[in-house]
Amino acid sequence: MQIGHFALANSLFVAPMAGVTDRPFRQLCKRLGAGYAVSEMVTSRRDLWDSLKTSRRANHEGEPGPIAVQIAGTDARMMADAAIYNIERGAQIIDINMGCPAKKVCNKWAGSALMQDEALALSIAQAVVDACAPRNVPVTLKMRTGWCQAHKNAVTLARAFESAGVQMLAVHGRTREQGYKGEAEYDTIRQVKAAVNIPVVANGDITSPEKARAVLQATGADAIMIGRAAQGRPWIFREIAHFLTTGEHLAPPLVSEVKRLLVEHLQDHYSLYDEFIGVRSARKHIAWYVRALPGGEAFRAHMNTLESSGEQVAAVEQYLDRLNEKMDRIPAWEATADVRGHNNMTTMECAL
């Protein structure tokens, strides 16, 4: 798998998710088998670039390359400037957000709302490519199948984006109208793949090794992108990689390994955020890790009462130590309708 001049380790991607795919989460997923990860969206609004939120999203200290940063906005010149801003801070690949369905984003005509205005969408893509090309920085783009069921224009836009110089497309198999509801469809992704010569990445409802293989076969995509299914289960990437290579399932991780991974994740998370924000933003990650484990609901409720990082880490260690006395490995986890249908907008922290 290649994006511009960058050769990737494999074709398993971490989807950009605002409020989730910060540097600690991206690094963890890469350690556990992901070949590529895209940052949370960074606003194109210059007046917000000095904010603490944006500075954290633009923090790539110690992150293995290639470093990909997603930018969001509605003005071609501002988006080009945002691309340069992030390149100067370490971005090696720029990704354009035309896939986010959050009302907070779409109400400003950013994200997937741009698919309603094909001329504007194309002008943004062209401006960003023109800004990045002299710096030898590839531009990629994430979009949906269309704005609504009656107006699926992903194929038309894909051709236009390729002509503008975009070097990879990621397509979520839903319209903006669907949000995260219902089932993702892959026919449109297959049509996009057939219409262009650049790599195409399939995204949406990929929750297991079997589903990953089925989506690759159904779409002919060059790679798959996983979002919600990696929340609290970052080892899903190595599980899929093993299955695609051998046709066999990798054993679930040891409880002791999950304890080590989660504690390391928390410590890295606290180092990026201050104590107050770090403790509160870590709660959702902890909840995702334990949601399928015995006593997970009660532990999550307890976790929400703790106010310090030290208390959080101690509680996590105690809970997993007790679990380890009962079982060596965590139970094999299967995606449920609850997880697939979870609307991540409740954790979105978009700054537009």
Pair 106, 100: CB distance under 8 Å: yes
By C-alpha distance, which of 330, 346, 342 is closest to 233? Answer: 330
* DSSP-assigned states of every residue in 36-58: EEEEEEEE--GGGTTSHHHHHHT
Out of 100, 106, 132, 350, pick the active-site residue.
100
Helix (H) or strand (E) holding 337: helix 337-340
**In this structure, are residues 95 and 6 in contact, taking their beta carbons and an 8 Å threshold?**
no
CA distance 228 to 232: 9
CB 161 within 8 A of CB 193: no
Active-site residue, 100 included? yes
The DSSP annotation for 270-318 comes to HHHS-HHHHHHHHHHHHHHHHTTSTTHHHHHHHHTT--SHHHHHHHHHH
Report CA 200 to chain centroid distance, whole Å: 16
Does the bond joining 66 to the residue before it have cis omega, within 30 degrees of 0?
Answer: yes
Query: Which residues participate in catalysis according to the annotation?
Result: 100
